[in-house]
Amino acid sequence: MEPTQDFSELVERLTHTKNYRELDLSFIERLVSNAAKASSDEKEILKSVKHAIHQAVNAFRVGEDSYRDLAIQLGDHAIHDRPVEERQLYAADFLRRHASSKERLPFIRRYYQEIFSGLPPIRSILDLGCGLNPIAAVSFIPNGRDLHYTAVDLPLDLVDFLNDFFQFLDLSGTALQGNLLNGAPDIDADLTLIQKIIPVLERSETGAGRRVFDEIRSPFAVVSFPAPAAKAKRSGSAASSVDFETEYDAILSASGWDSTKLRYPNEIVYVLKR
C-alpha cells in the first residue's frame, strides 16, 4: 500500500473525530505527515498526532464544548456606550474562556496600557494564533473600537464566534481560519500580535515559530512568551527545553527591530518597532 494512501486514511479518521472536526485540515495533514517521518506504526502516529493537537489547541479551551455557544452571551451591542469598568467586566467574561487570555486577566489593564503607550496610534491589528484575545478590543486595547482587527486561529467554532462578535458589536474585524505551520498570512496591518504562540508552533513543528516571526511585515509587533522562565518543550530536538527569552534576546539584538521588553507575572513581552 502506498504511504500517501495511509496518510489520507488517518487524516480522514481524525477529521471525523468529535474533538478535531473544527480544525483546519492542513494542520492535521501536516501533523500526520510529520509524525509519519518518525514512525511507520499507525498507532504511534495517531498517539503522537492526538498529543500534538491537544498541546497546540484543545488544551486552551476552558469549559465550553463549542465557542459558537458563546455567541448567545454577546448580549447588548450598546456595550460601547457603557462606562469603561462595565466594558472591562463584559470582555473579561469572554476572555476567561480561553486559558491563555484567562491567565492574563489579573494584569490585563496595565498590560495593554503599557504596550500601547510605547506605540503610535494603531489603525489595524493582525492577531496570529489569537485565541479569544480580540475580545480585548472592547475595553482593554486602546482605540479598540476604531481600528480594523484581523484574527487568525485554527478551530472553526472559535473563528465563527469571533466573526459573530465583530459583527454583533459593530466592530471592524474579520476572523480567519488559518494554519500558521504554513506560515503567516499575507495581510497588511500596522501591528502584528504574536502572543504566546511561538512556543506552541515550535512544539508542533521545529522551526515553525521562528518562520512566523521572520514573516512579520508590519512596522510594529508585539511578541510574547509564557513566563517566568519563558521555557517550553520543543518536540523533536535533542535539548527538550529551550529558553525562548535568551533565544529571542539574541535574535532581536541581531535584527533590525528596535525592541522594548516588558515583564508580567506570567508573560514576557517584546514591543517591536522597525
Does 180 contact ligand SAM by CB under 6 A? Answer: yes
CB of 60 to ligand SAM, least distance (A): 5
By the rule CB under 6 A, 29 interacts with ligand SAM: no
203 binds ligand SAM (CB under 6 A): no
The reply on whether position 195 binds ligand SAM by CB under 6 A is yes
Nearer to ligand SAM, 168 or 264 (CB): 264
Q: Do 192 and 216 contact (CB within 8 A), yes or no? A: yes
Q: Which amino acid is at 108?
A: I
Is-contact 78 109, C-beta < 8 A?
no
232 sits near ligand SAM (criterion: CB under 6 A): no
| Cβ nearer to ligand SAM, comparing 126 with 200 | 200
Among 170, 113, 169, CA closest to 143: 113
Question: Is 218 one of the binding residues for ligand SAM (CB under 6 A)?
Answer: no
Q: Which member of 20, 22, 27, 32 binds ligand SAM (CB under 6 A)?
A: 27
Alpha-carbon distance 231 to 155, whole Å? 25
Give the span between the Cα atoms of 67 and 57, in whole angstroms.
Answer: 13
Q: Does 179 bind ligand SAM (CB under 6 A)?
A: yes
- 80 vs 83, 145, 254, CA distance in Å? 8, 8, 42
Sign, CA torsion 131/135/139/143:
positive
Which residue stretch of 81-89, 200-208, 229-237, 242-250 sits at the interface with ligand SAM (rule: CB under 6 A)? 200-208
The binding track of 58-77 with respect to ligand SAM, each residue x by CB under 6 A or -, is: --x-----------------
**Residue 154 interacting with ligand SAM (CB under 6 A):** yes
CA distance 249 to 187: 26
Task: Give me the phi and psi of 69, to 5 degrees please.
Answer: -65, -20
Burial class, 78, CB count within 10 angstroms (exposed 0-12 / middle 13-18 / buried 19+): exposed
Does position 115 interact with ligand SAM (CB under 6 A)? The reply is: no
The single residue among 31, 52, 53, 57 that binds ligand SAM, judged by CB under 6 A, is: 57
Member of 130, 135, 232, 271 binding ligand SAM (CB under 6 A): 130
Residues near ligand SAM (CB under 6 A), total: 22
Residue span binding ligand SAM (CB under 6 A) among the ranges 41-49, 195-203, 214-222, 245-253? 195-203
Distances (CA, A) of 100 to 62, 165, 170, 200, 211: 10, 19, 25, 12, 22
In the DSSP assignment, the letter for residue 188 is: -
Residue numbers at the binding site for ligand SAM (CB under 6 A) = 27, 56-57, 60, 100-101, 129-131, 133, 153-154, 178-181, 195-197, 200-201, 204
